[in-house]
Amino acid sequence: MAQLIEEKALFEGEFKCSSGDKTDYYIDMAMIFSEPTGLEIALSLTLAELRRISVDKIASPSVEADPIVAVVGTHAKLGSIFIHQGQPIYAYEKLENLLKTGNRVAVIADVTLCGNAVLSAVKTLRSAGAQVETAVTIVDLQKGARELLKQNGIRLVPLIEAKDIGSIALRQQ
Amino acid sequence: MRIGAIKFGDFTLSSGGKSPYYVDLRLAPSYPEVLDRLGDLYVEVVKNEIQPNWNIARIAGVPTAGLPIATVVSQKMRIPLIYVRKEPRTHGLGKTIEGVVNSNDNVLLVDDIITTGHSTIEEAEILRNRVNVKHVVVLVDREQGGHANLMKNALELHPLVKIRDVIGYLRDLGAITTNTYEIVANYMAASRQDREVTH
């Protein structure tokens, strides 16, 4: 996966946090999810991680994570919930109703930087009665997400970290 | 209806119009077996109605409701997925088409529902800057002009079901009352007259 990201999803540009912290590279997971093979690799890694935790539902914190969350949901047979920019996407359904059939939720992100998008989804989920203890991210860029989420009672599980991606590790040296 | 994806009452549509019913496919992924089954039904339509005459290089999902369905269809058919962002990103590459795409690829549009078709046509026009778009697959055709408007824009609509059939089926099943059925049927007749007056 790290190699695939290096080849297909790593671009010049920048990622910015609301805290002002930033990277001088940019990871576009849509380039991975776009190709059936890339999506399947991300899917099987995420499924393996989910088998280690007990949850009733999974949640996407942004449109970028929607594709992976949708297929993880159908394969793990877990309902998936979509929260974009902290807001549930549903027009006429309360989040509380969707949580009635099980309220233990894991958030699944495509990329985490400072963790703000994940935290905002977790807060919305919790205020609707969800129990959220874990967030799985395909790539953590190691800019504070782990710490921020930990302070809020969430364990961040990255499948890949910035240091695993060769050319990013080189830049950081 | 079991999952609440179709509701009856008073609703305001994204176009601003009122409607006595509302179909929200954003709920489908909350029920993984429903999303998976829907994926199979879309695949069937694509294989029977589109693929015999048109090679599909990419499947484009329309966020928000269309993207999860398009992803499942993309995975089942092993055809790459793309999508158009509603708002261009503020960081990174700032592009609007997401995913791997080549100029002049044949792209199939996948959405949940069609009303007048205006938002679908907009989506197709953005894609047409780079690729070919000819076919649109949706779960529900609300039968409010979408089919004709798409045709004017050289787009063919492939609905899995039409709303008239859905409410007829629900009435026959006893899932909605004859009264509710008539409210929806009258609304559909009235919205057709509106269109005849305005056009």
Check: pTM over 0.90? Answer yes or no.
Answer: yes
| A interface residues, B as partner, C-beta within 8 Å | 8, 11, 13-16, 26, 28, 30-31, 33-36, 39-40, 43, 57, 63-64, 66-67, 69-71, 73-74, 76-82, 84, 89-93, 97-98
Cross-chain residue pair B85–A63, CB shorter than 8 Å: yes
Q: Where residue B176 falls among pLDDT bands split at 50, 70, 90?
A: very high
pLDDT at site A22: 81
Q: How far apart are CA B22 and CA B111, in angstroms?
A: 15
Q: Where residue B198 falls among pLDDT bands split at 50, 70, 90?
A: very low
Burial of B44 (0-12, 13-18, 19+ CB in 10 A): exposed
Structure tokens at A77: 């047979």
φ/ψ of residue B80, rounded to 5: -55, 150
> Can you tell me the ipTM of this complex?
0.93
pLDDT at site B2: 66
Chain A interface, best mutation among B15, B19, B71, B113, by max A CB count within 10 A: B71
pLDDT at site B199: 41
A63-112 pLDDT, tens per residue?
A: 999 999 999 999 999 999 999 999 999 988 899 999 998 999 999 999 99
Cross-chain residue pair B26–A66, CB shorter than 8 Å: no
B39-76 pLDDT, tens per residue?
A: 999 999 999 999 999 999 999 999 999 999 999 999 99
Residue B161's DSSP bridge partners are B140
Burial of B78 (0-12, 13-18, 19+ CB in 10 A): exposed
Instruction: Out of 3.30.930.10, 3.40.50.2020, 1.10.8.10, 3.10.20.30, select the CATH number for domain B29-166.
Output: 3.40.50.2020
Question: What is the DSSP secondary-structure string of B106-170?
Answer: EEEEE-SEESSSHHHHHHHHHHHTTSEEEEEEEEEE--SSHHHHHHHTT-EEEEEEEHHHHHHHH
Stretch B27-35: mean pLDDT: 94
Domain boundaries, chain B: 29-166
A147-163 pLDDT, tens per residue?
A: 999 999 999 999 999 99
Q: What structural domains does chain A harbor?
A: 2-164 (3.40.50.2020)
Measured between CA atoms, the residue of chain A closest to residue B62 is A63
* Alpha carbon of B5: minimum distance to chain A alpha carbons (Å): 9
Residue A12's DSSP bridge partners are A25
Q: Of A122, A86, A95, A97, which Cα lies nearest the Cα of A107?
A: A122
Among A65-69, A161-165, B111-115, B194-198, the range of highest mean pLDDT: A65-69
Measured between CA atoms, the residue of chain A closest to residue B38 is A74
State chain B's mean pLDDT as an integer: 90
Q: Where are the alpha helices (DSSP H) in B16-98?
A: 32-45, 66-77
Provide the 8-state DSSP code for A74.
H
* Alpha carbon of B99: minimum distance to chain A alpha carbons (Å): 5
Chain A contact set for B4 (CB, 8 A): 93, 97
**A17 pLDDT exceeds 80?**
no
Q: How far apart are CA B143 and CA A15, in angstroms?
A: 43
pLDDT at site B92: 52
